[in-house]
Amino acid sequence: MIVWRKAFHSMPPVSYANVLKRSLMYLLIWVSELAVILYIMTDGQLGQLISKWEREVVFIVTGVVLLLWISVSRIYSCFQAGHTRMLIGGWAGLFWPLPLTLILTLADSENNPHGALHLISDNLHIPLLLVIPTLYFMLTEPGTTKKQVLKFMGSVGVFIAIFTAVCYCFYDKPIPEENLLQQAIEFKVDHVKSTKAATSVKARIINHTDEPAILGNCDAIILSHPNKGDFSPCMCSRHAGLPDTIIIPAHSSISLNLVFSQADINYGLWLCFYEPTINGVTYQSNQFCGYAIKAQLPTDTP
């Protein structure tokens, strides 16, 4: 408590201007990183993604973020420059999204528990993007040395290791072999009707096991760009609405009527899901985008 009182002081105008400049540069670096990642995830079609955004929403969100950033910078500048303030900025700069992502990922953990890798990736991929802007912010803190910054990053590494260990202790689940999944579940397209506006697909999910199969967080995706038979979705890919959870009876199938706007099914149709229950065993997702089964089209040979 004494340390916090010593760190807190009245706000000199020069200090606030310095903090505001550095915090806006932090924001600019992060947004630039996001733009590069979105460009890669859309296979260079970032403009196509941005054109779908509502301008009013973009302006409102941008305004709120800037006002919030100015307010936080004002509060931060009230602390005395140096090591203590650097620690506050470092932890906040890296992990400010963590409370929100934890709430979102754990909200339905009782009914739809997450696997360890799924939980780790959902909560740590944003802090990973914040490393570079946070390092900039810390290294430009008056009275801070590189040695202090390196020591802080070591503490962050320990925190991430503890977080990872906790996830594995409480959320770890078995991972199915790829052959098991391919033999258990089949995704098949029976009919396709395409127009300039939409592509309508009649498909089936077939369960070849002796017990009901459960697929969680399901999604049907048509890739927007050619690939080599691999599942490599971008943010321009077309999605069709599916129930969050799909249950297929043993040795049976369920039918799906899917509608995709302006999509070319020849690029590949995939059924994606997380944490399948096969033969009574629930498996965790072994990759960020879960599991993906490619659909067999009417023109494909079995």
pLDDT of residue 272: 87
> Any idea which of 119-123, 138-142, 186-190 has the lowest mean pLDDT?
119-123
| Half-sphere exposure at residue 174, Cβ-oriented, CA atoms within 13 angstroms | 11
pLDDT at 56: 76
pLDDT of residue 150: 92
Mean pLDDT score across all residues of the chain: 81
| Interval 264-287: pLDDT, tens | 888 888 898 887 888 888 877 655
Greater confidence (46 vs 39) lies with 39
Between CA 18 and CA 73 the distance in angstroms is 9
DSSP lists the bridge partners of residue 111 as none
Query: Pairing mode, if any, of strands 281-282 and 238-240?
Result: unpaired
Bridge partner residues of 278 (DSSP): 281
Mean pLDDT in residue range 48-72? 79
- Rounded to a whole number of angstroms, the CA Rg of the chain reads 24
Q: How far apart are CA 194 and CA 200, in angstroms?
A: 6
> Between vectors from CA 232 to CA 230 and to CA 233, what angle results, nearest 5°?
135
Is pLDDT above 80 for 227? no
Number of separate helices (H) and strands (E) present in the chain: 10, 9
**How is residue 203 annotated by DSSP?**
E
- What pTM value is reported for the model? 0.60
CA 228 to chain centre: 24
pLDDT value for 4: 46
pLDDT of residue 196: 79
**pLDDT at residue 83 above 60?**
yes
Q: How many residues does the chain have?
A: 302
Q: What CA dihedral angle connects 128, 134, 135 and 141, to 10 degrees?
A: -170
* Residue 195 burial class via C-beta count within 10 angstroms: exposed 0-12, middle 13-18, buried 19 and up: exposed
What angle is formed at CA 235 by the lines to CA 230 and CA 240, rounded to 5 degrees? 80
On whether the CB atoms of residues 203 and 256 are closer than 8 A, the answer is yes
61-76: per-residue pLDDT in tens? 888 888 888 888 888 8
What the block records as the tokens of 14 is 């020069």
Highest mean pLDDT among 1-10, 12-21, 131-140, 166-175: 131-140
171 touches 102 (CB < 8 A): no
Determine the Cα–Cα distance for residues 288 and 179; give it in Å rounded to an integer.
Answer: 19
Closest-CA residue to 257 (of 246, 241, 245): 241
